[in-house]
Amino acid sequence: MLGTKSLEFGAVDTRVSDSGTAGTKGPVLIIGAGLIGGSLGLSLTRLGLSVYLRDASPTAVSLGASLGAGTPWNPGLPEPGLVVVATPPDVTAGVVCEALVEFPTAIVLDVSSVKTPIVAAVLAAKPDAASRYCSVHPMAGKEVNGIGAASGDLFTGRPWVVVAHPDTASAAVLAARTLGIDVGAFLVSLGATEHDRAVALVSHVPQLVSSLMAGLLIDAPATSLELAGGGLRDVTRVAASDPRLWNAILAGNSQAVREVLLQMQQNLAALIAGLAPHEMAPHESETNPTPAPEVSDTESALDGTPRNETWTKGAVGAVNTVMTRGNEGVGRIPGKHGDAASNYGQVAVLVPDKPGFLGKLFQEIGAAGINIEDFRIEHSLGQSRGLAYIYVIPASVEPLSGHLQETGWKVARL
């Protein structure tokens, strides 16, 4: 049955890109010359397909054409066999319906990150043409939007979710799947409701949490921000995303997002209660608590003598619950190539903040015959060097550390 859940983790056939051939039949019209639309255009033109671009902004179309993402659309061009709607989600349903009418023989796809309201609106407005419509969601993006940030490799190795409705024709499903394979993604099939619940958990709420955390930094003292390290940067990375786009995404998936936020609220309330300094009376509040009783120096010592209630069982238990559940949850995030998560070892290397040094480090690791499984770098405020964290399989930690030290690199102990 179309739209039922199934996961298909097949190896991405990179030979498709190398051969210059594609299963997708063109011409392809992309409506919406932004990050996703532009990246699709770049990927498909690289495969030799005829791609047309259309957007409300002539500047976006012109820039896309100059980047090689396609040819500006005009009515004199051959009619497209495939139309991909890559507009903001709040206008996607209307654009899909217009495309179904304007191009009566074309298959129409949309790439919106919200599905339930869009699919329902299209089915209600154009039931007779909806068999030519299938929804997809490439789970790829960047913190920055716009055609200028487009990349022909944006979808490589990323999930390509096919969301077919019960009336979707098999040819439309095939076109949706083929397009995903052509751009190097792997296929996942979900129903609209299931998709929206899934992205609320793994994409939409993480964006909100990142933005909420970053918002606390607005009034933070400069001395506090000077202490910021990789942890804060990791948590707030996506907070730089475009608010206009996320307004439309989150409003369209508000119910599923709210459900996840309510679960988080319950967990946060339990943590806050556990961290409370004492059990408050009904008339007390968090903003005006009763002062804790004073304790002597002996009672508060940290050398094994009696201490105060700073490290209460309630606080320790509440924190431990959050941390252990977090450890368990992060262990379920798929690792490389969609495989089960792996526990990698780390080698931390001091790298001068000068041109070429990071490339030399990677070359040295390659010379040692060791594969880099993952990588991140931290910069310290006011320092002209960074700490590069090289993630490798555990058995490679000692050999890599020894090799790098022998070749003159400074390896930090973790």
pTM: 0.76
What is the pLDDT at residue 307? 52
Largest CA distance in the chain: 88
* HSE, side-chain direction, 13 A CA sphere, residue 126: 22
CATH no. of 345-412:
3.30.70.260
The stretches in the chain having pLDDT less than 70 are 1-20, 278-313, 335-342, 380-382
> Scanning the structure block, which residue is given the tokens 């943590």?
271
Domain 199-272, classified CATH 1.10.3660.10, yes or no: yes
Per domain, the residue ranges of the chain are: 28-190, 199-272, 345-412
Residue 239 CA to its chain's centroid (Å): 12
Q: Tell me what pLDDT residue 7 has.
A: 32
28-190 CATH choice from 3.40.640.10, 3.60.20.30, 3.40.50.720, 2.60.120.10? 3.40.50.720
* Phi (first) and psi of residue 288, to 5 degrees: -140, 60
pLDDT, residue 413, reads 80
Handedness of CA 128, 131, 133, 135 (dihedral sign): positive
The pLDDT value recorded for residue 4 is 34
Identify the pLDDT of residue 312. 66
Assess whether the region 28-190 and the region 345-412 belong to the same CATH fold.
no
What would the pLDDT profile of 89-124 be if each residue is shown by its tens digit? 999 999 999 999 999 999 999 999 999 999 999 999
